[in-house]
Amino acid sequence: MSEPLDLSLREQAAAVAAGEVDAAELLQACLERIEERNPALNAVVETFPERSREMLAAAPAGPLRGVPIVIKDEWPLPWRAQRFGAAEMLAPTAPGESAPYRALRDAGAVIAGIGNMHELGAGSTGSISVYGPARNPWDTERCPGGSSSGPAASVAARLVAGAVGADGVGSIRYPASYCGLTGLKPTFGRSAMAGHHMAAVSNTIVSGALCADAADCRLLDSVLFGEELRAGNPEGLRIGVLRGEVSEDVAPAVREACEGAIDDLRRETGGEVREIELPELAVATLATVLIANSESLGGVTPERLNDLDPELSPIGRGLLKYRVLLPAIATIKSQQVRTMARQTLARVFEEVDVIAWPTVPAVAPPLEAPLVELPSGTLTADAANVRGGALANLTGIPAISVPVGSSEGLPIGLQLQAAWGRDELLLDAAEALERGNGRRWVEATPPAARGAETLEA
C-alpha cells in the first residue's frame, strides 16, 4: 500500500474502516507531515494534537471515521474562535460548534488543523493574511489562490486529503484552480454554514470541499450537505460556452487547455457544445462584489473604523473604509441585476446542462506582485479572477473547478456551472472529464508533495 497519507480521501476512509490503516497512526503521520512540509507553505496556521486525538477517540463509525481534515479559519470550533485571516474582525466571534464542525465530527472525521486564508476573505490570491501568506505547493513563490488558500495548499501538498473551504466570491474555485485541485462551490444553502459569523446575513457564502478529485469532493461534500450526493451518468451532456471576455480574454495556454477540456468532456459524455449568451455577466460581476461587500457592513461604525487594529493590513483597512462610500443605489440596482441574471440563467439552463469557462484567466501569479498578463493587458489577479467566479455566488447556482492542464509548471482549471440543486451533475461531469483526460491532471502532484519533479515531467 502507498503511504496512507498519500491515499485519496475515500481510500483513507475505506482503509481505516477495513482496519488496514490505524487511524491513530494516520493522524500522527498527518501531524508529522504538517510539521515537515508546512514551514515552506504556511498552509496550516494552527494544529491542536490533543483536540484532534480527542475527536478521534470519540469518532463514530461515519463515512470519514479517522480521516484527518483541514478546515478554513472561517468557522469557530469548540476550542477556538475563527480569526478570518485577520488581526481584527468587525463581527463578534467565540469558540463554538459550527455546522461544518458538527458535520465533520458526526462523520467521524478528525480536524487536524486550521487552514490559512486571505485576510477577511477579501481576495482571490491568498497573498495577505495575518499569519503571513500561504504558498502554492507547485511553486512557493506563487499565490495559492484565495480566499481558501490554506485548505487548498494543504491538500495539494498532501498534508491532508480533504479540506473545507468557503466560497463567497469564488473563494473555493480560485485556489482549486491555482493549486490543481477539484473544488465545489455548492448551490447556496445546501451545505453546512451555521456558526459562520456571516451566515445570517450573507446570500453569497457557502462551505464546500477542496480535494484532489471529484470522487473525494463527492464524499466530503456529502458530509457537508448532510446527504449522499449520488453519482449519475452525464451522458449526452449539453455544454454551454460563452464568447467574450470570460473565455477569450485569458492567457493563451489557459484558453487552449480549457477548450481542449471542453472537447474532452463533450467526447466522453457523447454530448454537444452550444453557444449561449449571458448579457448581464459583466454587470453581474460588479453586482456580486457590491452585494458581498455590503453584506458585512452591519457591524461597522465610524468609531470602529477609526480604531482598527494596526496589524490589519493597509489594504484591508483601506477597503473596509471604502465600503462605506459605496452608494446605496448601486447595491439596490445590484439586487435587481441578480434577479435579471437568475432569470437569464433559468432560461439558459433549459438549453444546456452546464456552462463551461476557465476558472481563472491565468495561472497563479507571483505572491510578490499578484498581477496577470491577459490579451487585454495587465490586470490585478483579483480584478481578472472575479469575472469568471462571481456569477455563481450572485445567483446561487453551483460551480466546480476541475484541473485540466498546466502552463509554466502551474495548474489550469476549468469551471463548470449548473442549475440550482444540480451539484451532483457537476461532480458527474468532473468525473467524466477526468476519464476523458486519463486522470492526468488530478493525479499530478506538486514538487512540495514529491520532491523536485515538475508538473510537465
Binding status of residue 238 toward another protein by CB under 8 A: no
Binding status of residue 377 toward another protein by CB under 8 A: no
Binding status of residue 336 toward another protein by CB under 8 A: yes
- Phi, psi angle pair for 226, to nearest 5°: 75, 25
Q: Which stretch binds another protein (CB under 8 A): 67-75, 101-109, 134-142, 310-318?
A: 310-318
Cβ atoms 73, 287 nearer than 8 A: no
Binding status of residue 337 toward another protein by CB under 8 A: yes
Element (H, E) at 380: strand 377-380
Cell digits for 171? 473563494
CB nearer another protein, residue 253 or residue 319 = 319
CB nearer another protein, residue 202 or residue 247 = 202
CB nearer another protein, residue 77 or residue 246 = 246
- Give the alpha-carbon dihedral of 449, 450, 453, 456, to 10 degrees: -50
Looking only at residues 171 through 190 of this chain, which bind another protein when binding is defined by CB under 8 A? 187-190
Return the active site residues.
72, 147, 171
Measured from the CB of residue 195, what is the shortest distance to another protein in angstroms? 19
CB nearer another protein, residue 204 or residue 401 = 204
For another protein, the binding residue among 326, 407, 408, 447 (CB under 8 A) is 326
Looking only at residues 245 through 304 of this chain, which bind another protein when binding is defined by CB under 8 A? 282-283, 286-287, 289-290, 302
Cβ atoms 126, 103 nearer than 8 A: no
CA distance 44 to 153: 9
Cβ atoms 292, 201 nearer than 8 A: no
Q: Which stretch binds another protein (CB under 8 A): 39-47, 150-158, 171-179, 416-424?
A: 416-424
Measured from the CB of residue 396, what is the shortest distance to another protein in angstroms? 3
Question: How far apart, in Å, are the Cα atoms of 219 and each of 51, 229, 323?
Answer: 24, 8, 38
Q: Which of 386, 381, 379, 433 is nearest to 136 (CA)?
A: 381
Q: Which stretch binds another protein (CB under 8 A): 102-110, 161-169, 403-411, 419-427?
A: 419-427
CB nearer another protein, residue 200 or residue 329 = 329
Cβ atoms 185, 399 nearer than 8 A: yes
DSSP letters spanning 429-447: HHHHHHHHTTTTTTS---H
Measured from the CB of residue 347, what is the shortest distance to another protein in angstroms? 7
Binding status of residue 30 toward another protein by CB under 8 A: no
CB nearer another protein, residue 93 or residue 331 = 331
The footprint of another protein on this chain (CB under 8 A) covers a number of residues equal to: 48
Binding status of residue 340 toward another protein by CB under 8 A: yes
CA distance 135 to 140: 5
What distance, in Å, lies between the first and last C-alpha atoms of the chain?
24
Q: Which stretch binds another protein (CB under 8 A): 13-21, 70-78, 172-180, 333-341?
A: 333-341
Q: Which stretch binds another protein (CB under 8 A): 166-174, 226-234, 318-326, 406-414?
A: 318-326
Measured from the CB of residue 332, what is the shortest distance to another protein in angstroms? 7
Residue type, 242: L
> Which residues on neighbouring strands pair with residue 291, listed in sequence order?
none
Binding status of residue 317 toward another protein by CB under 8 A: yes
Residues 205, 211, 213, 217: is their CA dihedral positive or negative? Answer: negative
Q: Which stretch binds another protein (CB under 8 A): 164-172, 217-225, 344-352, 442-450?
A: 344-352
Binding status of residue 61 toward another protein by CB under 8 A: no
For another protein, the binding residue among 203, 226, 273, 278 (CB under 8 A) is 203
Q: Is 227 exposed, middle or buried (0-12, 13-18, 19+ CB in 10 A)?
A: exposed
Question: How far apart, in Å, are the Cα atoms of 387 and each of 25, 352, 361, 390, 392?
Answer: 44, 21, 9, 6, 11
Binding status of residue 207 toward another protein by CB under 8 A: no
CA distance 192 to 210: 15
Q: Which residues bind another protein (CB under 8 A)?
A: 187-190, 203, 282-283, 286-287, 289-290, 302, 305-306, 314-315, 317-319, 321-322, 324-327, 329-330, 332-340, 342-343, 345-347, 349, 383, 395-396, 419-421
